[in-house]
Structure 1
Amino acid sequence: MRNKRRSDSMVSSRGGGGSSSLCKPSFSTILRFFIVLILFIFIFNFYSRGILEDEQNLNVSQQLPQPHDKLWEAPFSDGLHSCLNPTSKYQALQGGDHYITVRSNGGLNQMRTGIADMVAVSRMMNATLVIPELDKRSFWQDKSIFSDIFDEDHFINSLKRDVRIIKKLPQELDSVPRARKHFTSWGGLGYYEEMTKLWADYQVIHVPKSDSRLANNDLPLDIQRLRCRALYHALRFSPSIETLGKKLVERLRSRGGRYISLHLRYEKDMLAFSGCTYGLSDSESEELRLLRENTNHWKVKKINSTEQRIAGLCPLTPKEVGIFLQALGYPPSTIVYVAAGEIYAHLSDLTSRFPNVLFKELIATEEELKAYSNHASQTAALDYIISLESDVFIPTHSGNMARAVEGHRRLLGHRKTITPDRKGLVEIFDKLESGQLNEGASLQHLVKHLHQKRQGAPRKREGAPDGIRGRARYKAEESFYQNPYPECICRSKHRT
């Protein structure tokens, strides 16, 4: 009986014979269900959209340059690239039984550009170039020979279609009379065609100075491209220098990823030569004056330091560099590699603002640098490599290295190079000193505005300023090696 009741109950609940209130939900229950469902869908869509927007914003923020990224970005190069190959009119090497010997003068980069000039001169005069002798009498007293600094075989082989180059003058010519010729500064093609008359009386011409032997402009396109091939490709540093230079670049990057190479020309010889003593003590100024007086080949002995500084002819001081970098927006954590010799004084004025200031001695081991001690040109080659590969290069004075590195970086895609407007900055620094201006937003605006167009963007090489006439205009022109555009940088279809 009890089992029958259970069966009847189950049947009635499954069938339609039971009470309707137990089998069918009420209208209010259905309404509440739909309201809850709609609310659930609304809330789900709301939060899903928020998550999606957050993801989209994250992706966009990763794609857009962040404020600090703009400090490191290379300028827009508009599709420009290097073009160093000869034109279709370039004739094959003819060769000849005439020889040019050279004593290169100056520091590393003055010698490098001078050697590139002499390659082009040898081509124009149809002469064989003997591997140049390097300067051993300059301020640095470096005894290095050519093969200590450069890859000699690479230099010879890479230019074999342009100029015949040999390591030594043939022994039978050692005793023959040589024409000792100081070629004129900024000479052009016509001048060197005239100089070929010397071959009528001499088989060997000796050139005692190699710097600035060629004009910056108005030379045949193929001669200009040969100069670029000689400097940027043929004059490769020796394998040991190249290897260590690349190691030091990797170590710098391991510290912070990106770094500034600062060519801080606040060195004793530079300050003495230029007569720039602003910010130095009386005893330091006197030491520099005596050095200038006792250096015979520095012709100018009396220099007004104030006038030099106002004219923008002095390198920035360490303190001024620190203010400058901060005004540009670089944070104190920035890695700053100092590509220079021993800084004369007041480096703490820079390191107080940028603690991560590094030198070769801090990133290379003592053993690695041992081979380069007392060889300033070889250590300068390390600085050149590190500066060339830096994210930002900033020279504090427009010397030979500054010009050479800037030109090379232009050739490699216009890598960011900030050239301080020293004359304009002096006015700003003086206002800071007098209290007319304070560090902060106003200073940043002034400095950034002053340097908007001084960051290595593409531009054609500048001629001499208006009003300069005669031969003086050649010296006033922008250096070919500082900016080899347009001859060695172009928009042609075929890259070289």
Structure 2
Amino acid sequence: MVNTRISVSSSSSSSHVRNRGQPRRPSRYISIYVVLLLASAAVLFLFSQRRIAEVDRKDQSKNWFQATEENLWDSSFGFGYRTCVHRTSKYKAPQVWDRYLTVRSNGGLNQMRTGICDMVAVARILNATLVIPELDKKSFWRDSSTFADIFDELHFIKSLEGDVRILKELPKESAFLPRARKHFSSWASLSYYEEIAQIWKDYRVIHAPKSDSRLANNDLPLDIQRLRCRCLYNALRFSPPIEILGKTLVERLKSRGRYIALHLRFEKDMLSFTGCTYGLTELEAEELRKIRESTSHWKTKNINSTEQRIGGFCPLTPKEVGIFLQALGYGPSTWIYIAAGEIFGSGAHLSSLRSRFPNLVFKDTLATPEELKIFSNHASQAAALDYIISVESDVFVPSYTGNMARAVEGHRRFLGHRRTIVPDRKGLVELFDKFERGELNEGPMSAQLVRRMHKSRQGAPRKRYGPLPGMKGRGRFRTEESFYENPLPECICRRRRLS
């Protein structure tokens, strides 16, 4: 029995040895099958991931384009701000009516507009009756337009009834009243005008031969600041013919799509005044020099054009504007309305801008000759059309910071901080010069630099800038940001949250 158990045991051991030494065939097939299955799954996974990645890239490209379009055009919707021009509880209506302020408004359209509203505020401070201002007929444009030709006179008078008494002309009985001719100080404070009020002891009529910048930008009573806004943005409406045609031209532009209003200050008077000759021929530069030397009230005669340009004190040329807008991301199909007078050497200088943006539009290409007939030889009335089209544009771009650029920017801020892109001229000139020297090419890298440079220069809400650091004396007022360029915080307030 012992032998039998041993025999069985030995037989069993040898069987196990054989099994370990010879692989089982079914197991090999299963392993190969599993490997092939995993490999197929891996290939399928990698292929699907590649397709997904391609789809993602397409979607991202599409989303990037949409985001760019949004960044280029979309309205700000006010950034949570609203207009606030109502009178405060401390406001008192004027009491005395037998004192009169007569005014001669000087400068171009927007210089006169802001000056008129300054004089409305001054009349309120002096407790005087304002006589409808006489407009400048001796400026560069020699425009013979009267107040009623440019502005809705009755609307102006009626809108300000609760603030200032306004008459079309001095009463006949005032013809022999004692009069004073007074040059009000520039950027004058409330205390200055309170001292001026002493003049009523000896006179009943004060005549102001200039209206521009007669009132400080800052540190005035809230009601006076809001009166300036009520005047400029409500009372001083353009005359019906200008308003009707202006709105008609806006509708025609918007029917073509979104548009940029470009205030292109490449005009003879501006180039003469600033002494900027970059990009001009020698004959053109000489013509501008003669104009500057023959204009008596322009103090600076000898100007270094190169220094002006490097310092950012020159209007961008049409070519430079084209490079700038293209770098921001605007495509060649973009509609651009040129809000300006006659461009100096227009055909030659505009060609470089037109080569990048063929859809350039002017007043005379939007309106018929019959529609423009009544505005011929009236530069201020034509400028009013530019103003309306610029305020209502999807994007406003000024090539230089002048009176119109400041007025339009302020109005667009007042209406909800509509997109206004103010070029950094000094920074751009450095970039353009690198192009000319071959140190940098136009392309994605330079476009990125331009966009980064202008990220915070597109009209978002901010408080008005004060004087430049280190400035002392009256000269500091000249460096302040104009009240009409940015009426925040006095006339633009944050919306109250609903509880």
- TM-score by length of structure 2 reads 0.85
Match of 1:431 in 2: 434
Pairing 1:193-204 to 2, within 5 Å after superposition: 193-204=194-205
Deviation for aligned residue 1:493:
4.2
Q: Secondary structure at the match of 1:195?
A: helix
Question: Per-residue CA shift, 1:285-308, capped at 9, x if unaligned?
Answer: 000000111111112111110111
Mapped pair 1:474 → 2:487: no
**2:68 counterpart letter in structure 1:** P
Q: Secondary structure at the match of 2:356?
A: coil
**Contact 1:75/1:455 (CA < 8 Å) preserved in 2?**
no
Q: Which has the higher helix share?
A: 2
Match of 1:25 in 2: none
Match of 1:187 in 2: 188
Distance in 2, Cα, partners of 1:95 & 1:127: 7
Deviation for aligned residue 1:210:
0.1
Distance in 1, Cα, partners of 2:121 & 2:308: 35
Question: Per-residue CA shift, 1:423-449, capped at 9, x if unaligned?
Answer: 111100000111101000111011000
Deviation for aligned residue 1:94:
1.6
Distance in 2, Cα, partners of 1:277 & 1:376: 24
**2:418 counterpart letter in structure 1:** R
Q: Secondary structure at the match of 1:312?
A: coil
Mapped pair 1:104 → 2:95: no
**Contact 1:260/1:390 (CA < 8 Å) preserved in 2?**
yes
Distance in 1, Cα, partners of 2:218 & 2:65: 41
Note closer, same or farther for the CA distance 1:415–1:325 as it changes in structure 2 (3 Å cut): same
Deviation for aligned residue 1:119:
0.3
Distance in 2, Cα, partners of 1:74 & 1:440: 27
**1:167 counterpart letter in structure 2:** K
Question: Per-residue CA shift, 1:424-481, capped at 9, x if unaligned?
Answer: 1110000011110100011101100000000000000000111111101111000000
Match of 2:270 in 1: 270
Pairing 1:208-287 to 2, within 5 Å after superposition: 208-255=209-256, 257-287=257-287
Q: Secondary structure at the match of 1:247?
A: helix
Match of 1:378 in 2: 381
Deviation for aligned residue 1:74:
2.9
Structure 2 alignment gaps of length 5 or more: 1-54
**Contact 1:114/1:213 (CA < 8 Å) preserved in 2?**
yes
Match of 1:298 in 2: 298
Structure 1 alignment gaps of length 5 or more: 1-53
**1:196 counterpart letter in structure 2:** A
**2:215 counterpart letter in structure 1:** L
Pairing 1:432-451 to 2, within 5 Å after superposition: 432-451=435-454
Deviation for aligned residue 1:96:
2.5
Deviation for aligned residue 1:176:
3.0
Distance in 1, Cα, partners of 2:282 & 2:63: 53
Q: Secondary structure at the match of 1:394?
A: strand
Match of 1:416 in 2: 419
Note closer, same or farther for the CA distance 1:222–1:492 as it changes in structure 2 (3 Å cut): farther
Q: Secondary structure at the match of 2:79?
A: coil
- TM-score by length of structure 1 reads 0.86
Distance in 2, Cα, partners of 1:140 & 1:406: 23
Note closer, same or farther for the CA distance 1:386–1:298 as it changes in structure 2 (3 Å cut): same
Distance in 1, Cα, partners of 2:79 & 2:238: 30
Note closer, same or farther for the CA distance 1:63–1:322 as it changes in structure 2 (3 Å cut): closer
Deviation for aligned residue 1:92:
2.2
**2:397 counterpart letter in structure 1:** I
Deviation for aligned residue 1:67:
2.6
**Contact 2:81/2:492 (CA < 8 Å) preserved in 1?**
yes
In the comparison of the two structures, how many residue pairs are matched?
Answer: 436
Mapped pair 1:113 → 2:114: yes
Q: Secondary structure at the match of 1:179?
A: strand
Distance in 2, Cα, partners of 1:450 & 1:215: 31
Distance in 2, Cα, partners of 1:261 & 1:175: 50
**1:241 counterpart letter in structure 2:** I
Identity among equivalent positions (%) equals 69
Pairing 1:387-402 to 2, within 5 Å after superposition: 387-402=390-405
RMSD over aligned CA atoms reads 1.7
Distance in 1, Cα, partners of 2:213 & 2:75: 30
Distance in 1, Cα, partners of 2:442 & 2:63: 31
Pairing 1:17-36 to 2, within 5 Å after superposition: none
Match of 1:289 in 2: 289
**Contact 1:394/1:418 (CA < 8 Å) preserved in 2?**
yes
**1:157 counterpart letter in structure 2:** K
**Contact 1:95/1:164 (CA < 8 Å) preserved in 2?**
no
Deviation for aligned residue 1:212:
0.2
Distance in 2, Cα, partners of 1:332 & 1:271: 27
Match of 2:325 in 1: 325
Mapped pair 1:351 → 2:382: no
**1:301 counterpart letter in structure 2:** K
**Contact 2:79/2:416 (CA < 8 Å) preserved in 1?**
no
